[in-house]
Amino acid sequence: MTGPGAVALAAPQLTQSVDWTALAPAVIPAALAVVVLVADLFLPPRRKQVLTWITVAGLALALLSLIPLRAGRHATFCLAHAAGCSYTADRFTLVLQVLVLGGALLTALLSAHAVEELPAGEFWFLLLSSACGAALLPASRDLITLIVALEVTTLPSFALVGLRRGDRMSSEAALKFFLTSVTATAVSLLGISFVYAATGSLHMDTVAAHLGSEPGQLHTLAKAGAALTLVGFAFKLAVAPFHFWVPDTYAGAPLPVAAYLSVVGKAAGFSGLILLTALAFHPYASTWGPAMGVLAALTMSVGNVGALRQRPDAERGAVRLLAWSSIGQAGYLLVPLAAESAHRAPGRHVGTTVAYALMYAVVNLGAFAVAALVSRTAPQGRLTDYRGLYARRPAAALALAFFLLCLAGLPPGVIGLFAKVAVFSTAVDAQHGWLAVIMAVNVVIALVYYLRWTALLFGRPEGAAEGAVPGARADALPGARPGAQADASGARSGALGAQAGTSGAQVGALAEPASLAADGAAVAVRTPFGLTAAIALAAVGGLVLSGAPQIVLRYAQGVLL
Amino acid sequence: MNDTALQYLLAAALVLPLLGALGALLPPPPGLRGRSPEQAVLRHGVTVTGAVLVLTVVLAAGFDRGHPARMQATTDLDWIPALRIHLHLGVDGISLPLLVLTALLTFLCALYSYFHPPVPQDGPAPSPKGFVALLLLLEAGTLATFAVLDLMLFFLAFETVLIPMYFLIARWGGGNRERSALRFIVYTLLGSVVMLLGLLLIGIKAGTFDMVALATDNGSHLSHTVQVTAVLAIGLGLAVKAPMWPLHSWLPDAHTAAPTVGSVLLAGVLLKMGTYGLVRIALPMAPGGMHTFAPYLAAFAVVGIVYGSLACLSLALRGNGGDLKRLIAYSSVGHMGFVLLGIASLTRTGVNGALFANIAHGLITGLLFFLVGALKDRYGSSDLDHLAGRTGAALYGRAPRLGGLVALGAVASLGLPGLAGFWGEMLAMFGAFEPGAGLSRPAYVTFTAVAAFGTLLTAAYLLTVVRRVCMGDRDTATAQPALADIRGYEFAAWTPLAALTVLAGLWPAALLGLTDPAVRSLFGGS
């Protein structure tokens, strides 16, 4: 983790004081990964569930370790006299660490049951290692730490994607992901070496200070270096035209891993891109700015059109749709970066990307959690499997509808709407009218497929057999006696609470008196606690944010970096 | 009543339907279960919308009619400082009538649905729970549109109505409902996102989203280019909603597919959001941009008037298989054309006329859609040829009260003096006859002439409808089985609309007295 600059200049002072409090959010997952791997050796197969709770507790601990860092700016691994630190925990770092660690926590919850089919120890080890990298990435302030962190994030992901043994789709997905990712890293490394050659430094602020004033003959080299580095990151972020690997990888990976990649993987990649554009390569803003705008427009259009073309009866269509939509959302995330270039002061608009990413993380993980829930009864994961979900599992259906409307940016998904408004306002502010208009069209395209899916949830269930799920449709019988009616509705609310409590407290309160009735009524497979918790957390998060959007949108205000 | 009480009344009127929508989804508490869950939830809808109506009526009663140009019952709270969004609410003479109209129409719809639960044309009915929740959410969105004084909140409220209306059409509609619903939401969303860009442009350039501050400014802080761009974007969005020809093509399908209640609210309230936005936002905040586009707006408006009337005429004629709901929907395009013409005249007279016509159209078209819904229930179809047969449906003979009400609605819609439809359209044309300063008089006189021709066409198709639906030969009039005349609940739901139509026709000053001072302040005068 020490920058090579620090090694080279270590002569005057042989030891370095390390600020472990600042490092804790990245170190805890790493230590935990080792603990889990070792513990796995000694645990009998029946008790593997313990690993889940160790992981969840550890990630929660890592989140708690962020609290002492709230005030001020902590930096460590600094050069002795020159300015420049390799690890900085400032406001930007903390927000993104909350995002990635929270995202990893939700992923852990929603994969608690899926691990039964996967090698548990390896799964948790890989997840935690990747989370460690993702937590390190936003804190890194030199290019080597950045690349190392990025690799720590993605390398375990390949294994995670391919973890389902004996599944051809899974290994194919892992191979595709691996090849693109390695290419991306190679390209980025080449770019970084050019930048180093041109500026003689790897620390981002030093690079920024030297770029633009480098000797004339190195000018082209520096520019090419910056461009190559950014192209590498574009690959990792599945920015069009480097997006082709995403749908296959997501569809082939175990569902929680797809959720993890779409949120934590993406957030980590974006934090790297933000650091590169807003800090290191800011002098070249006029060059990468327009390119970023074009990429944003292209990415969102490709992603949304791809999602629109998903056939509802295709196998694993739900995850594929979420994969394409995540490409589209990545396009929106790029818009503030494109607007960034119009500002002389660095870091003016990147906060909007962060705010949008926070919103996206909560609701997208929620959507994946409901998808995981549905895939337990309908393993093919077709979109048509969601038809009539409201009749079977009202709470889960309402939660998914809410998540999808947040992603679409329509009320009642208020937070989605205002996150989009914030993105739009950066584009209008930077006078990128064309980009705003393209994004407007994309929002409409996206609405079509999100709404189609939402409408499916409330559609009539296929066939009479599904329509007659006990309890769920008991209220549709017109002539029943009042007493029987009361019983039925009690049983229904009980079943509702047992399946997936979204609006936590209310539903839970209803479920208690009727829990006996629920045992009789809930014929569906019992929902694992982890899934319920993940859905409930995401739904409560989304609702709270919808009521008080300021919680995330404050990052869109002022300079974040 | 003091302002604090009014302020709470207004806030309560906005929050109550939201809470009601949530409550509708939860199981009813003990003691309120009623005869069946369906009945309980429908009654819940009536209670909540009734309470909201009472709140708005009390609000109207407490409103200081001496100063309708001043914003009253204002609340201003910081909500999202990052985007400079305030929870800024208030009513003045322009928004108050629309608020009451919304609350009234929603209440009548809930009342009507209580006795006549909505059933989709094919297949079993979904639980009315969702219906009531969506209806209340829709009410919250529409009321908020008329009560908020922050551009971003206006956009939020504007978007809030989309999802409930989509599901009302897609779930409880008939015919090609899912397609029509999708078309409705895609068109209006495309419009409103473009509108958002315009709103952001104004907000960012002027440094505030506060509608009162921006309106007082009269665009003096915005360059002409910004004003023109903003009005283009905002106008496009609102014109889709209004709807203005040629952006109206979502409307006939949506109306035809929507359930009766959906049509009533769509025509009665949702279309008003478009014209209200033009008056409230485009007119005072970017007068320069509005001035540039006014002639085009007027031209499109009169084309809409003639186009709507011709479409209706062709639907009304025998042998064309015209659907009555579709006909009323096209007539809305024509009537909203008058509203747009009034706004485009950029005069006090014209804008007052537009606001009056807004309310009148809400009352009359609401009534007409209720009536057509009732006819559809009784005949099983709203196809005019099916209804009228060869000689006419002879409603005067078969169901005299229903026939009489249809005739009343039709003549009110064609603008008979003494009924609500007259004043708005007349004032709009007066305004266009002498347009605001700097607008080409000859062009506007031509527009007025074309609009006047449109009123003739309107009369032609509405009288044709009356002749074919209400009149007929003796055999049809005495045909068995007898047609049910107006039932008690129908009477209750329709009488207020008919009574207000007559009242507004006989005493227009009640409404114009509210709007005129507010309109004067829109134009920067005092």
Residue A15 has a pLDDT of 67
Answer whether residue A327 shows pLDDT above 70: yes
Residues A115-154 have pLDDT tens digits of: 777 888 889 999 999 999 999 999 999 999 999 999 999 9
Helix (H) or strand (E) holding A77: strand A74-78
- Please state the length of chain B: 526
The conformation of residue A115, written as its DSSP 8-state character, comes to G
Closest CA to A473 of B133, B132, B126: B126
**Peptide bond just before B17 cis, omega within 30 deg:** no
Structure tokens at A481: 């006696």
- State pLDDT tens for residues A525-547: 677 888 899 999 999 999 999 98
Q: What is the mean pLDDT of chain A?
A: 82
Q: Would you report the helix, strand and coil content of chain A in percent, each value rounded to 5?
A: 75, 0, 25
Closest partner residue to A424 (CB to CB) among B37, B160, B196 is B196
B398: distance to nearest CA of chain A, Å? Answer: 33
Question: Chain B: residue nearest A547 by CA?
Answer: B79
Task: Tell me how far the alpha carbon of residue A281 is from its chain's centroid.
Answer: 25
CB-CB neighbours of B99 under 10 Å: 25
Please say if the pLDDT value at position A58 is more than 70. Answer: yes
pLDDT for the residue numbered A72: 78
Distances (CA, A) of B9 to A425, B98, B150, B158: 33, 16, 19, 21
Q: For chain B, say whether A505 makes contact (Cβ under 8 Å).
A: no
A and B: number of Cβ contacts within 8 A: 122
User: Who among A412, A425, A448 is closest to B83 (CB)?
Assistant: A425
Report the candidate in B76, B287, B99 with the shortest Cα–Cα distance to residue B202. B287
Residue type, B512: L
Q: Are residues B196 and A411, on separate chains, in Cβ contact within 8 Å?
A: no
Tell me if A425 and B162 make a contact (CB, 8 A cut-off): no
Band of residue A81 on the pLDDT scale cut at 50, 70, 90:
low
pLDDT tens, residue by residue, A421-434: 999 999 988 888 89
Which pLDDT score is estimated for A462?
A: 61
Q: Which of B332, B354, B330, B352 is nearest to B341 (CA)?
A: B354
Residue A425 at interface with chain B, using a CB cutoff of 8 Å: yes
CA pair distance A35, A29, nearest whole angstrom: 10
Q: Among partner residues A482, A506, A510, which is closest to B33 by beta-carbon distance?
A: A482
Radius of gyration from C-alpha coordinates of chain A:
24
Residue A556 at interface with chain B, using a CB cutoff of 8 Å: yes
Query: Do residues B428 and B345 touch, judged by C-beta distance below 8 A?
Result: yes
Count CB-CB contacts under 10 A for residue A220: 11
Q: Which residue of A has its CA nearest to B194?
A: A440
Chain A residues with beta carbon closer than 8 angstroms to that of B79: 549-550
- What's the N-to-C CA distance of chain A in angstroms? 21
**Using one digit for the tens of pLDDT, what is the confidence trace for A469-507?**
333 333 333 333 333 333 334 334 433 333 333 343 333
The length of chain A, given as a count of residues: 561
> Is the Cβ pair B159, A478 closer than 8 Å?
no
CA distance B75 to chain A (A): 18
Q: Give A348 or A255, the one with higher predicted confidence.
A: A255
pLDDT in the model for residue B103: 95
Residue B369 CB neighbour total at 10 angstroms: 28
Query: Which element (helix H / strand E) includes B233?
Result: helix B224-241
Reported confidence tier of residue A21, pLDDT bands at 50, 70, 90: confident
For residue A431, give the nearest of B366, B201, B473 by alpha carbon. Answer: B201
The strand pairing partners of B150, in sequence order, are: B210
The pair of structure tokens assigned to A19 is 């600020």
Alpha-carbon Rg for chain B in angstroms? 22
pLDDT, average across residues A217-225: 88
**How many helices and strands, by DSSP H and E, does chain A display?**
25, 2
A493/B contact by beta carbon, under 8 A: yes
A1 pLDDT higher than 70: no
Instruction: State pLDDT tens for residues A225-259.
Output: 999 999 888 888 888 888 888 888 898 888 999 99
Does B204 contact A425 at a Cβ distance shorter than 8 Å? yes
pLDDT at A285: 85
Contact B185 A475 (CB under 8 A): no
Q: Which residues of B touch A398 (CB under 8 A)?
A: 25
The pLDDT > 90 percentage for chain A reads: 43
Average pLDDT per consecutive 10 residues, chain B (526 residues; last block may be shorter): 84 93 86 81 92 94 89 89 89 93 94 87 77 93 94 93 92 85 92 93 91 88 92 93 90 90 92 93 91 94 95 88 90 94 93 94 94 88 84 84 92 91 92 90 94 93 91 79 84 92 92 91 74
Distance of CA A416 to the CA centre of its chain: 15
**Cβ of A424 and B166 within 8 Å?**
no
Q: What pLDDT does residue A17 have? A: 78
Q: Which residue of A has its CA nearest to B34?
A: A482
How confident is residue A213, by pLDDT bands cut at 50, 70 and 90? confident
Residue A511 has pLDDT above 70, yes or no: no
Q: Which residues of B touch A422 (CB under 8 A)?
A: 82-83
Q: Is the pLDDT of residue A468 over 60?
A: no
Does the distance separating the beta carbons of B137 and A412 come in below 8 Å?
Answer: yes
pLDDT for the residue A463:
52
User: For residue A13, what pLDDT is reported?
Assistant: 56
pLDDT of residue A14: 58
Provide the pLDDT confidence category of residue A82 given band limits of 50, 70 and 90.
low
Most B-contacting residue of A405, A415, A435, A447 (CB-CB within 10 A), to test interface: A447
Averaged pLDDT for residues A38-61: 89
Q: What is the pLDDT of residue A258?
A: 93
Query: Where are chain A's structural domains?
Result: 281-465+537-561, 470-474+482-523
ipTM: 0.92
∠ CA A145-A150-A156, rounded to 5°: 130
Instruction: Give the best residue of A550, A551, A555, A560 to mutate against chain B (max B CB count within 10 A).
Output: A550
Give me the pLDDT at residue B1, please: 59
Other Cβ atoms within 10 Å of A558 Cβ, number: 11
Tens digits of per-residue pLDDT, A374-421? 988 888 888 888 988 888 888 999 999 999 999 999 988 899 999 999
Distance from CA of A249 to the nearest CA of B (A): 31
Cβ within 8 Å, pair A460-B170: no
Shortest distance, CA A402 to any CA of chain B (angstroms) = 11
Confirm if A59 and A104 have CB atoms less than 8 A apart: yes
Q: Which residues pair with B323 in a beta bridge?
A: B383
**Is some CB atom of chain B closer than 8 A to the CB atom of A410?**
yes
Say yes or no: A377 contacts chain B, CB-CB below 8 A.
no
Q: What is d(CA B312, CA B309) in angstroms, rounded to the nearest whole number?
A: 5
Instruction: Please say if the pLDDT value at position A306 is more than 90.
Output: yes
- Chain A residue numbers with beta carbons less than 8 Å from the beta carbon of B156 are 411, 414, 417-418
Residue A349 confidence (pLDDT)? 86
* Nearest residue of B to residue A440, measured between CA atoms: B193
Q: Is the dihedral of CA B36, B141, B342, B337 positive or negative?
A: negative
Q: What is the pLDDT of residue A507?
A: 39
Amino acid at A207: V
Antiparallel, parallel or unpaired: β B72-80 and A85-89: unpaired
Q: Report the distance separating Cα A118 and Cα B371, nearest Å.
A: 63
Do the chains contact at A455 and B170, CB–CB below 8 Å?
A: yes
